[in-house]
Amino acid sequence: MSDVQKKSALSPVSASARFLAADYLLPISAAPIADGAIVVDKTKIVAVGTKTELAEKFPQIKVENFGEAAIMPGLVNCHSHLEITAMRGFLDDAEADFYTWLIKLTKTRGEILTEADVKAAALAGALEGARAGITCFGDIGRFGVAGFEALKTNGLRGVVFQETEFSPTDKTADEDFEKLTDKFLELRAAETALVKAGLSPHAPYTVSRKLFERITDYALAENVKISVHAAESVQETDLMETGAGFFADIYKNSNLEWNAPGVSSIEYLSQIGVLRAKPLLAHCVKVSGADIELIAESDSRIAHCPKSNAKFGHGAAPLEKFLSRKIGVGFGSDSVASNNSCDILEEARFATLIARSAANGNRFLAAAGIIEAATLGGARALGLDREIGTLEAGKQADVIVISLADIAQQPVHDVYSALLFASNARDVRMTIVAGEEIYRDGRALKIDEAEVKAKLREISAKMRE
């Protein structure tokens, strides 16, 4: 065979194509592959298989072998608030009283932190995610632009949901809507292939019915993703169902009129049409069987944030029921002010342990299904499962490598179990988003980590003054 013929027999890839191999490869869409490999070219996955198979097909590419490690799709964090990263640990003393916690957060964000501080903190939060193998965020922000820029600068993927301000009355709905869409349109104009803009009407107890309706109509007409905090706490349930309790007192003290709909948050969102837009619902702790049906039938999605829910003492959302009903559910860290880490492996582990220990648990969750929720589930929750969430030829190359070589992870009898029960964010060796390596072996490749940390220290000192 002449050299020319030999060349044409090779599978065509560009000179920058990469061949990654490891002891395990988890496509998620198929069973784990021992001695697996993946070929990535530009932004996409070209091939997935065993190392031997791909070496025959792509002999021209140098093999990067990670050995005792797992190659898998990037983790998805589908509910975060990167803009308040500087408040990690800052509000813990107020946690027992949610009202005091909220006031301290709002005052700090509004009066102490500058816009530059919020942006710097969001950058640090996004970097924490990249280091933790998170390739895609569903981020919510009052200063949506902070999370938006943070994802871009770190080379991450995501949807940033511009959040409403406190707007519980119909009287100001038109004005509130104009202000919200102004901010949203600025983000939309700055969208990239990786970072998209969405809208977040905050919660049924802070957004008026009219504003909810305007946002929903707009989302449907303009094809905009929306995310809502819903059914998070017993206080929210009280306000919605009986018009009494903690939030009712706040409204009364602020001279705000509130007419309780007399139904659950999910039922309310269904009645006023919000579920038509298939929202990503964060939390869903206080949900009945009927609520779960409404979520499933409308193809709404859920961001499951078990650590944040537990830290506040809100309870545990019935993850096993969401999965049994085949709802698109992914994991969310919520803000690091209420977690205090952005580690999806830890979130997934906690979710599993809580679900298994629930006295009324009707399904024993297996490790494989949970790792699927952390990747493909999160992608479904954000409506991105056609592009990401599995390792398959043609999909976007959002790929991570997690080391399994530490003594604390050995021996590995089952790779899903080793990842879920014996690994965490600090075991991540490499993060690739759309083919671009953004983190490798302790080093951030897109930004200066020392600078980010120094800025965070400066901001935190100012907060404690």
Count of CA atoms in the C-beta half-sphere (13 A) of 166: 8
CA–CA dist 372, 385 (Å, integer):
12
Give me the least distance between CB of 274 and Zn ion, in Å please: 17
Nearer to Zn ion, 304 or 349 (CB): 304
Largest interatomic CA distance in the chain: 86
Q: Going residue by residue from 408 to 437, which x/- string records binding to Zn ion, judged by CB under 5 A?
A: ------------------------------
Q: Going residue by residue from 357 to 396, which x/- string records binding to Zn ion, judged by CB under 5 A?
A: ----------------------------------------
Give me the least distance between CB of 238 and Zn ion, in Å please: 20
Verify cis geometry, omega within 30 degrees of 0, for the bond prior to 340. Answer: yes
**Given its phi and psi angles, is residue 415 left (phi above 0), alpha (psi -120 to 50 degrees) or beta?**
alpha
Give me the least distance between CB of 253 and Zn ion, in Å please: 24
> Rule CB under 5 A: which of 433-452 touch Zn ion?
none
Nearer to Zn ion, 298 or 333 (CB): 333
Region near Zn ion per CB under 5 A, out of 68-76, 177-185, 241-249, 328-336:
328-336
Give me the least distance between CB of 453 and Zn ion, in Å please: 25
Give me the least distance between CB of 79 and Zn ion, in Å please: 6
Region near Zn ion per CB under 5 A, out of 22-30, 36-44, 326-334, 424-432:
326-334
Residue with nearest beta carbon to Zn ion: 334
Give me the least distance between CB of 78 and Zn ion, in Å please: 11
Region near Zn ion per CB under 5 A, out of 6-14, 219-227, 286-294, 334-342:
334-342
CA–CA dist 321, 295 (Å, integer):
12
Give me the least distance between CB of 137 and Zn ion, in Å please: 12
Nearer to Zn ion, 335 or 352 (CB): 335
Region near Zn ion per CB under 5 A, out of 208-216, 294-302, 333-341, 359-367:
333-341
Nearer to Zn ion, 210 or 314 (CB): 314
Nearer to Zn ion, 176 or 334 (CB): 334
CA–CA dist 21, 330 (Å, integer):
27
Region near Zn ion per CB under 5 A, out of 23-31, 33-41, 327-335, 380-388:
327-335
Nearer to Zn ion, 334 or 427 (CB): 334
N-terminal to C-terminal alpha carbon distance within the chain: 76
Nearer to Zn ion, 162 or 431 (CB): 162
Region near Zn ion per CB under 5 A, out of 217-225, 259-267, 295-303, 331-339:
331-339
Decide: residue 264, CB within 10 A, 0-12 exposed, 13-18 middle, 19+ buried: buried
Give me the least distance between CB of 304 and Zn ion, in Å please: 12
- The answer to whether 356 and 316 are in contact (CB under 8 A) is no
Nearer to Zn ion, 58 or 322 (CB): 322
Give me the least distance between CB of 442 and Zn ion, in Å please: 30
CA–CA dist 314, 210 (Å, integer):
28
Nearer to Zn ion, 334 or 347 (CB): 334
Verify cis geometry, omega within 30 degrees of 0, for the bond prior to 411. Answer: yes
Give me the least distance between CB of 332 and Zn ion, in Å please: 7
CA–CA dist 186, 405 (Å, integer):
45
The contacts of residue 185 (CB under 8 Å, 6+ apart) are none
CA–CA dist 26, 38 (Å, integer):
10
Nearer to Zn ion, 236 or 334 (CB): 334
Q: How many residues bind Zn ion (CB under 5 A)?
A: 1
Which residues of this chain interact with Zn ion, rule CB under 5 A?
334
